[in-house]
Amino acid sequence: MKATLIIIGIIAGTLAFGWVLAGNNLAMFKVFSPKYEQVRRETFEQSKAYRQGAIQELQNMQFQYEQADPAHKAALAAIILRRAADFQDLPTDLHGFVQSLKNTNKKY
């Protein structure tokens, strides 16, 4: 009888310890997960592949802007200016294009 109670106590203690560890893992995940993801995002945005892809996309949008009719140019300009706002070191030609868009579209 005493051995049975000891075994039940050990099992209950193990389950309680597992419950505490699971709660601790959840709390740690809740606290550190957003910070971890922010670091991952910043690292990704600073990667060469991301930056080259974004610049290439802006250059494609520049080409589309130059081919667009006047009605579509305003919409494309807004999109280009929003996407280019995150970049400080654009290629010279693209930087000049973005500056000209800023000058012609003062509200953006």
Sign of CA pseudo-dihedral 66, 67, 73, 79: negative
Q: What is the pLDDT of residues 14-68, one digit of tens each?
A: 988 888 888 888 888 888 889 989 999 999 988 999 999 999 999 999 999 999 8
pTM to 2 decimals?
0.64
**d(Cα 13, Cα 8) in Å, to the nearest integer?**
8
Same domain, 64 and 18: no
Q: What is the pLDDT of residues 67-108, one digit of tens each?
A: 988 888 888 999 999 999 888 888 999 999 999 988 887 654
Question: Domains in the chain: how many in total?
Answer: 2
- 3-class state of residue 80 by DSSP: helix
Same domain, 61 and 93: yes
Same domain, 54 and 95: yes
Domain holding 24, by residue range, is: 1-35
